Amino acid sequence: MKILMINGTMRKGKSYILGRMLIDRIAKEEDVVEELFLPRDMPEFCRGCALCIQQGEDRCPDYLIYLKRVTKLIDEADLLVFTTPVFVYHASGQMKALLDHYGYRWMVHRPEASMFKKQAVCVATAAGAGMRSAMKDISDSLRWWGVARIYKCGMAVPFSSWEEADQKLQDKVKEKLEKISSRICRDSKEVQPSLRTKLMFHIVRVFQKRKEKEDIDQKYWAERGWLGRKRPWKET
């Protein structure tokens, strides 16, 4: 298994620690674990030029320097782990900036087929609240990418460091991570997208078929046979 961890800040704080704890429960000795830290590995904001949507992802001004490498790691991974602290009830700005660059991969445009066989986890921590909305910032993109299974782990950790957390909280976190890791390991060989994801795909498929004028998105769907009988989650 290949695991990619994408961290919303450079700090190895509580969200990072929980993400690593989860990965340590899943990864075997032969598995490959890669880590990306934002903004180091993707420091640029989306310019809103729409070149990725209208002409192709390689037209993005940030493609060659940053996105080509990041995209390759995302596509090769079997499991994606996103971690972020809660900043004013949302994911970090660096995380949002990365996800903005993948608007062209939303299902209404040109989703990557491998996403329909991937699993992903969103991890968020805060001193008090906001984990749900922070994780939603990430899971919205993952769902529209077509990611088959998305899990969430949001925890309130009202301490400056994980080491300061009391035993009761640590046990609660470990129990939650254990449940998520067991489900990921159980489904790792036969990952199937949810009914909701399949329904979203079929709705977009109808939309693409009904376009009067062929564009880059419709051509992409047609070339993969998705306007016919082929489905990305059935591809080998």
pLDDT score of 236 more than 70 = no
pLDDT digits (tens, 9 = 90+) for 64-102: 999 999 999 999 999 999 999 999 999 999 999 999 999
Q: In the predicted model, what is the mean pLDDT of residues 5-31?
A: 96
* Dmax (CA) of the chain: 61
Cα–Cα distance, 233 to 11 (Å, whole number): 36
User: Of 100, 183, 200, 84, whose CA–CA distance to 133 is shortest?
Assistant: 84
pLDDT score of 12 more than 80 = yes
Mean of the per-residue pLDDT values of the chain: 96
User: Of 138, 12, 161, 128, whose CA–CA distance to 81 is shortest?
Assistant: 138
Q: Which two tokens stand for residue 80?
A: 């994606």
* Residue 158: cis peptide before it, omega within 30 degrees of 0: no
CB atoms within 10 A of CB 98: 29
Q: In the predicted model, what is the mean pLDDT of residues 218-222?
A: 97
pLDDT digits (tens, 9 = 90+) for 100-122: 999 999 999 999 999 999 999 99
Cα–Cα distance, 208 to 50 (Å, whole number): 19
Give the pTM.
0.95
- 161 vs 207 pLDDT, higher one: 207
Domains of the chain and CATH, by start? 2-193 (3.40.50.360)
For residue 212, give the DSSP letter: S
- 42 vs 165 pLDDT, higher one: 42
pLDDT digits (tens, 9 = 90+) for 140-198: 999 999 999 999 999 998 877 788 888 898 899 999 999 999 999 987 778 999 999 99
Instruction: Give the model's pLDDT for residue 163.
Output: 80
Q: Which two tokens stand for residue 151?
A: 């899990």
Q: Which two tokens stand for residue 210?
A: 């009904």
Percent of all residues in the chain with a pLDDT value above 70, rounded to a whole number: 100
